[in-house]
Amino acid sequence: MIIETRFWKNPTDRTAIEKLNSKMEIRQPNTTGIYFSMSGFTENAKRYVSDIIKKRIVVLFDGIEIKGLLTSRLDLEEILRKRFFLVLPLSS
């Protein structure tokens, strides 16, 4: 698992997600990426994740979700399970 965190003024763009994906590509195929960005993500970054999700799992967390995790209103394990379930193929 590779985790990136950013606390920038502007939303995280596609370039940052591409860098995360590059780091993931040189590791085992089952490597997961998690990106925390307090300022959220651009639409282009979200689209890029949708495109690469077929090969890699990348989970994005924006500022609202991060605050929810820090205040215990949200459960990280529960969120990850839901998001992984949405992208992982069901075994037969």
Q: Which residue has the tokens 């040189």?
A: 26
What is the sign of the dihedral through the CA atoms of 17, 21, 37 and 68? positive
CB proximity list for 4: less than 8 A, separation 6 or greater: 16, 20, 33, 34, 35, 36
d(C-alpha 54, C-alpha 69), whole Å:
27
For the chain, the structural domain boundaries read 2-87
pTM above 0.95, yes or no: no
What is the CATH topology of the domain spanning 2-87? Answer: Trna Endonuclease; Chain: A, domain 1 (3.40.1350)
Per-residue pLDDT, averaged over 12-17, amounts to 94
- Length of the chain, in residues: 92
| Structural tokens at position 3 | 């985790």
For residues 83 and 75, which has the higher predicted lDDT (pLDDT)? 75
